[in-house]
């Protein structure tokens, strides 16, 4: 057991101007505490290494220079893995995050009130430099709302967070892509009492932000993964329902078009419109809903999807006719019967799709895939 209390992990890329400043700030804020600062730099080659070596004479700072790998999230994980302290704090190098918040954040952890604390701009007492443009703010707000069901934190995007190092071993299956490593750790680590500490977020003075538009799209994919992790069935069902909804639109359009433009009868139109709609559903469920499941051959999977869809349709229709033939309430309220039929059919389709059409991948195969991607 080392006797370091606080490890501060700081990912850096070309932050040579900020490194001495943040070291001084931390040193002042943590006077009297035992701490270490771990910079994880992606081979900036801008004198960062030399700067840290110089500082290391009077402040416990070290720098890990990575040459093989790049990226904010993996850098943070590398830093956490080499940390020795009882607590780990992750923060940006650009002085956006006030080091004066570190001890109050640790205090929340030590008191047992929280097991994960983020430095938050959006709770009472928190703030940010007010030259944020409308779009930057809107963007940040939307991104935050989208993450709300994952964790009840007002600033889940924050790159400033702290937890007890022991707890990190609960973080199974981290997929450290993108920028939101705090959110990733918070969700996958299944922390039970996350909390927030208000901070003033300062805009960086030196250097540039590395957050690009591409990161925003990566964020959406990241969210999808986290939802899948936290709510595996519900998230599949939601996507399945979404796809089914668009399929229903296609189905109706073709159904009406065949009657209006080709003069076909409604039964025949209905019988025809089913096929393109079901094909549409199959395609999007394969590409969106069940991307993480087995990739069976196209033809085979398409056929089995059509088969289960037909069976689902029979269930749907059967429910409707049974209810409207025998149950007085539904004889009066046919539309409710129709909705119930749709629900039954969809539930059936969903179950069949999960069991037969888009089969679960073996853990073994998943492991192999992982190896392959490394």
Name the residue number minimizing CB distance to ligand GDD.
159
Q: Count, in order, helices (H) and strands (E) of the chain.
A: 13, 9
Helix (H) or strand (E) holding 89, with range, is strand 87-90
Can you tell me which of 11, 119, 178, 189 binds ligand GDD, judged by CB under 6 A? 11
Q: How far is the CB of 49 from Mn ion (least distance, A)?
A: 21
Can you tell me which of 41, 94, 115, 155 binds Mn ion, judged by CB under 5 A? 94
Q: Find how far residue 123's CA is from the centre of its chain.
A: 21
Q: Report the C-alpha gap between 187 and 73 in whole angstroms.
A: 15
Query: For residue 352, which of 281, 287, 298 has the smallest C-alpha distance?
Result: 281
Q: How many residues bind ligand GDD (CB under 6 A)?
A: 23
99 contact, one of Mn ion, ligand GDD, none, CB 5-8 Å limit per kind: none
Q: How far is the CB of 31 from ligand GDD (least distance, A)?
A: 23
Token pair listed for 353: 């799709």
φ and ψ of 132, to 5 deg: -70, 125
Burial class (CB in 10 A: 0-12, 13-18, 19+), 100: middle
Can you tell me which of 210, 300, 334, 370 binds ligand GDD, judged by CB under 6 A? 210
Site membership for Mn ion, residue 200 (CB under 5 A)? no
211 vs 314, beta carbon nearer ligand GDD:
211
Site membership for ligand GDD, residue 211 (CB under 6 A)? yes
Q: How far is the CB of 343 from ligand GDD (least distance, A)?
A: 39
Q: Report the C-alpha gap between 218 and 180 in whole angstroms.
A: 10
72 contact, one of ligand GDD, Mn ion, none, CB 5-8 Å limit per kind: ligand GDD
* Burial readout 284-322 (b: 16 or more C-beta within 10 A, e: otherwise): bbbeebbeebeebeeeebbebbbebbeebbebbeebbee
Q: How far is the CB of 370 from ligand GDD (least distance, A)?
A: 22
Site membership for ligand GDD, residue 157 (CB under 6 A)? yes
Question: Which residues of the shown chain bind ligand GDD in the complex (CB under 6 A)?
Answer: 11-13, 15, 40-42, 70-72, 75, 92-94, 96, 157, 159, 179-180, 204, 209-211
């Amino acid at each position: 057991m080392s006797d370091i209390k606080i490890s501060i992990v700081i990912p850096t890329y070309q932050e040579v101007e900020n490194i001495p400043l943040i070291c001084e700030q931390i040193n002042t804020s943590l006077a009297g505490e035992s701490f270490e600062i771990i910079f994880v730099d992606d081979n900036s080659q801008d004198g960062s290494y030399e700067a840290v070596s110089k500082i290391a004479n009077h402040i416990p700072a070290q720098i890990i220079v990575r040459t093989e790998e790049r990226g904010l999230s993996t850098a943070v994980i590398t830093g956490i893995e080499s940390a020795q302290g009882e607590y780990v704090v992750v923060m940006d190098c650009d002085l956006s995050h006030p080091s004066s918040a570190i001890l109050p954040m640790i205090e929340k952890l030590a008191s047992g009130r929280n097991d994960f604390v983020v430095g938050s701009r959006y709770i009472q007492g928190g703030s940010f430099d007010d030259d944020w443009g409308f779009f930057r703010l809107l963007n940040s707000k939307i991104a935050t709302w989208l993450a709300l069901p994952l964790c009840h934190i007002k600033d889940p995007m924050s790159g400033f967070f702290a937890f007890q190092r022991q707890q990190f071993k609960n973080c199974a299956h981290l997929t450290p892509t993108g920028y939101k490593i705090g959110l990733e750790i918070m969700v996958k680590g299944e922390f039970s009492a996350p909390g927030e500490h208000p901070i003033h977020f300062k805009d960086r003075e030196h250097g540039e932000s590395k957050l690009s538009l591409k990161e925003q799209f990566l964020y959406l994919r990241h969210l999808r993964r986290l939802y899948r992790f936290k709510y595996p069935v519900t998230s599949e069902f939601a996507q399945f329902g979404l796809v089914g909804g668009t399929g229903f639109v296609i189905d109706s359009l073709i159904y009406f078009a065949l009657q209006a433009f080709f003069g076909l009868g409604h039964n025949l139109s209905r019988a025809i419109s089913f096929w393109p709609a079901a094909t549409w559903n199959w395609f999007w469920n394969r590409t969106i809903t069940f991307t993480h499941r087995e990739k069976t051959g196209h033809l085979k999977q398409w056929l089995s999807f059509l088969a289960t869809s037909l069976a689902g349709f029979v269930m749907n229709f059967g429910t409707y006719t049974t209810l409207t033939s025998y149950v007085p309430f539904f004889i009066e309220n046919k539309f409710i019967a129709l909705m119930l039929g749709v629900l039954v059919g969809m539930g059936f389709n969903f179950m069949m799709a999960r069991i037969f059409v888009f089969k679960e991948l073996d853990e073994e195969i998943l492991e192999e895939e992982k190896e392959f991607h490394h």
